[in-house]
Amino acid sequence: MTAHPITSWTHGGADALGAPRVDFSTNSSACGPCPQALAAVQAADATLYPDPFYSALRQRLAAFHRVAPERVVLAGSASEFIFRITAWAWQQGVRRVQLPAHHYGDNARAAQAWGLQPAADGAGALVWACEPSSPLGQAHGPWCLDAAHTVVLDRAYAPLRLSGAPSLSDAQLDRVWQLFTPNKALGLTGVRAAYVIAPAGASTREQGHIEAAVANLNLIAPSWPLGAHGVALLQAWVMPEVQAWLLACLPTLRDWKARQIDMLQNLGWTCLLSEANFFCAQPPQPLDLSALRAEYGIKLRDCASFGLPGWVRLGVLGPQAQALLACGLQENKLIPAQLENSQ
């Protein structure tokens, strides 16, 4: 087979060949972009600096989550905050990190950059969690929630939960740093923007420690971590009409997900259970992802970087995209001949 100039599959989305014709490699909502959020981003005034303190935005996010504005930390993206809080943890004397069995490369790279060593348990460590998790879309566990741990929970996919329920109660969520990136749920992943809700603190002493942590995290942030478009996205995120749009999308995504799993299983694939708008699947024989991308314009996310070689992660897309994937798999003989002939 002809070699293709694609050697790295550690990220989804556009690559050296441009935007894929059919992109299963990201977890962005296939119902997007959200019309109201897109309009807000397009109307953003890029000729002006945002307020460097983001006062109005912090107030809106705090009201949405029913927390004090002082608990809101803004970030350029989830990746930016991962590196920033890792640097803060090092400043506090933290020298260990606990990662989920399968996790984003940024978590491990940030830990490596600051010399944090893997921890068998969370005591005195920076602890990372993601729920629904990526790439599996499943519940996180086990949890380490006492004051000896700095726990950061990535909630990027919580708005795209299609089944199951969160593992933590509201009171337990108040014990962790909650990281939100709404661009996936809104189908606008090209706009980089994130925010964090700091823990509440169970005692006066702990509250003082958290307030100092927030102050330090803001101190080591770059100036204007959010541009005008990121501000517009997060302002739109809390609008009632945007939240209503999101809720209305979930039944459609559930239906598309069931159809996509059925299609792949009929082609001999093994699909793992998932509670989100994406799932992991294993083809019946090795799959040439670079050929599928270069020849058919279809991109899947290789899970080798997540510690799952031989598996791919697929975002849920609509019926037309699913039909193109089935066609590409069969035309390129990427499924066993006996399965192809039986269809």
Q: What is the pLDDT of residues 218-228, one digit of tens each?
A: 999 999 999 99
Task: Give me the domains of the chain, ranges plus CATH numbers.
Answer: 22-27+241-342 (3.90.1150.10), 35-238 (3.40.640.10)
How many alpha carbons lie under 13 Å from residue 64 in its C-beta half-sphere?
A: 20
Of 342 and 91, the structure prediction assigns the larger pLDDT to: 91
In this model, does residue 319 exceed pLDDT 50? yes
Tokens (6 digits) for 128: 């990372």
Question: pLDDT at position 3, please?
Answer: 36
The residue type at 61? L
Asked if the peptide bond before residue 52 counts as cis, ω within 30 degrees of 0, the response is: no
Q: What average pLDDT does the chain have?
A: 90
d(CA 239, CA 234): 9
Question: pLDDT at position 323, please?
Answer: 95
pLDDT confidence band for 338 (50 / 70 / 90)? very low
In this model, does residue 335 exceed pLDDT 50? no
- Measured CA distances, 311 to 130, 196, 283, 296 (Å): 19, 31, 7, 20
Question: pLDDT at position 152, please?
Answer: 96
- The share of the chain scoring above pLDDT 90, in percent, equals 77
- Measured CA distances, 139 to 84, 143, 222, 250, 296 (Å): 25, 11, 33, 19, 34
pLDDT confidence band for 2 (50 / 70 / 90)? very low
In the block, which residue shows the tokens 């599959």? 9
Question: pLDDT at position 95, please?
Answer: 94
Lowest mean pLDDT among 156-165, 194-203, 251-260: 194-203
* b/e code 206-245 from CB counts within 10 Å (16+ = b): eeeebeebbebbeeebeebbbbbbbbbbbbbbbbeebbeb
Question: pLDDT at position 204, please?
Answer: 81
The residue type at 340? E
The reply to whether the predicted model has a pTM over 0.85 is: yes
